[in-house]
């Protein structure tokens, strides 16, 4: 019973002051690192796949990798989620592929169009028993296939882009989405803040008041660990002034403000890149990929384990309770991802 929607996870997370980590997967080593960490900590997890990841790795390869993980840890609560889906067609494809959860991101559309496209995606997904995350407000940072703006321009004008609490209520009522990604000062990527890193807690609090019970999602939540930035810069990289969301602020959002899902991609990329750079620089004769991808994967395991603990997401040791809740909800999905 390992694959499930996000519903049992968010039900318990909302009430229990923890959040589920949603980690982007693009290849085998990244997936294995995340899974190993979550299994060691008995933590639920969301594996999320972007349009870019589908294109890069090809869905049938990702399916095989995820199925291998599910078979290795059959007791681990896992949701397979589309990250930043931009069309209802892509949502439909992912439902057919066996995803248990999808995001429809209409945040770059005018409000009415966002409502329209989200409501349509919700209709399709709910008919298939799949949960839906939507987005309202605008995040900073420019990623492949994700609409945003330069993170530092964003920071300077952030008030304009934050999610409007009354609009969030209207949006939730009209679309019936299951969770909402909100703009509260975060940006995608490794350069989130030029000045002091600060989340708009007053805004999250207001959204919680207008939308009680709605699980909130924080995108752009990498903390950009300094140890990885130091390694990258020491061994030939150029990432001066990289800055992420401090872990204590993530922990506060998770514990007090209804944030049930925390999205992390950049930190995985940084861990892998830092370790590969280190091996290349310190062992210039090394050319066996296992000897540089392996240390990268190890760095992902320890970084993710740290995030699952009480000082950040607080999701460790929650797997049994989530499995029990999912069973009570009584709608087991196919045992294997992609199963027809």
In the complex with Zn ion, the residue whose CB is nearer, 41 or 135, is 135
In the complex with ligand 13P, the residue whose CB is nearer, 267 or 326, is 267
| Contact yes or no for 261/133 (Cβ under 8 A) | yes
> Which member of 7, 42, 188, 307 binds ligand G3H (CB under 6 A)?
188
Q: Which of residues 215-234 bind Zn ion (CB under 5 A)?
A: 219
> Which member of 9, 25, 47, 53 binds ligand G3H (CB under 6 A)?
53
DSSP-based three-state secondary structure for 187:
strand
CB of 263 to Zn ion, least distance (A): 5
Between CA 277 and CA 164 the distance in angstroms is 42
CB of 219 to ligand 13P, least distance (A): 3
Name the nearest CA neighbour of 77 among 59, 101, 97.
101
User: Among ligand 13P, ligand G3H, Zn ion, none, what does residue 145 contact (CB within 5–8 Å per kind)?
Assistant: ligand G3H
DSSP-based three-state secondary structure for 3:
strand
Between CA 287 and CA 145 the distance in angstroms is 32
Name the nearest CA neighbour of 215 among 252, 177, 247, 183.
177
* Beta strand ranges found along 201-327 (DSSP E): 216-218, 259-264
CB atoms within 10 A of CB 258: 24
Catalytic site residue 86?
no
In the complex with ligand G3H, the residue whose CB is nearer, 145 or 247, is 145
In the complex with ligand G3H, the residue whose CB is nearer, 27 or 317, is 27
Between CA 334 and CA 86 the distance in angstroms is 26
Tokens 């999905």 found at: 333
219 binds ligand 13P (CB under 6 A): yes
Stretch that binds ligand 13P, among 63-71, 147-155, 217-225, 289-297 (CB under 6 A): 217-225
Catalytic pick among 11, 83, 105, 265: 83
| Contact yes or no for 176/119 (Cβ under 8 A) | yes
Structure tokens at 88: 């209802």
Stretch that binds ligand 13P, among 26-34, 218-226, 300-308, 314-322 (CB under 6 A): 218-226
In the complex with ligand 13P, the residue whose CB is nearer, 42 or 83, is 83
Name the nearest CA neighbour of 235 among 184, 266, 206, 270.
270
221 binds ligand 13P (CB under 6 A): yes
Residues binding Zn ion (CB under 5 A):
219
Catalytic residue IDs = 83
Question: Contact residues for ligand G3H (CB under 6 A)?
Answer: 24, 50, 52-53, 83-84, 143-146, 188, 265
């Amino acid at each position: 019973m390992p694959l499930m929607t996000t519903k049992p996870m968010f039900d318990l997370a909302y009430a229990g002051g923890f959040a589920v980590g949603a980690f982007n997967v693009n290849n085998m080593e990244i997936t294995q690192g995340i899974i190993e960490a979550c299994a060691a900590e008995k933590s639920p997890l969301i594996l999320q796949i972007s349009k870019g990841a589908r294109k890069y790795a090809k869905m049938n390869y990702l399916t095989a990798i995820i199925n291998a993980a599910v078979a290795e840890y059959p007791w681990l609560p896992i949701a397979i989620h589309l990250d930043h889906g931009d069309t209802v067609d892509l949502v439909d494809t992912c439902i057919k592929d066996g995803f248990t959860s999808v995001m429809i991101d209409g945040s770059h559309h005018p409000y009415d169009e966002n409502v329209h496209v989200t409501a349509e995606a919700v209709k399709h997904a709910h008919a298939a028993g799949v949960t839906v995350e939507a987005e309202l407000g605008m995040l900073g940072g420019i990623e492949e296939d994700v609409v945003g703006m330069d993170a530092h321009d964003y920071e300077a004008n952030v008030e304009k882009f934050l999610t409007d609490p009354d609009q969030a209520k209207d949006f939730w009522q009209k679309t019936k989405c299951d969770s909402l990604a909100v703009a509260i000062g975060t940006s995608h990527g490794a350069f989130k803040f030029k000045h002091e890193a600060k989340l708009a807690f007053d805004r999250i609090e207001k959204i919680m008041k207008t939308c009680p019970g709605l699980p909130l999602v924080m995108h752009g939540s990498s903390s950009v660990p300094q140890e990885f930035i130091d390694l990258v810069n020491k061994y030939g990289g150029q990432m001066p002034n990289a800055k992420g969301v401090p872990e204590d602020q993530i922990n506060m959002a998770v514990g007090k403000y209804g944030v049930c899902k925390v999205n992390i991609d950049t930190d995985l990329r940084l861990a892998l890149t830092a370790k590969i750079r280190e091996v290349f620089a310190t062992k210039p004769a090394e050319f066996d990929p296992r000897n540089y991808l392996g240390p990268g994967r190890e760095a992902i395991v320890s970084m993710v384990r740290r995030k699952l603990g009480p000082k950040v997401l607080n999701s460790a040791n929650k797997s049994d309770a989530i499995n029990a809740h999912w069973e009570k909800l009584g709608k087991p999905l196919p045992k294997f991802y992609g199963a027809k």
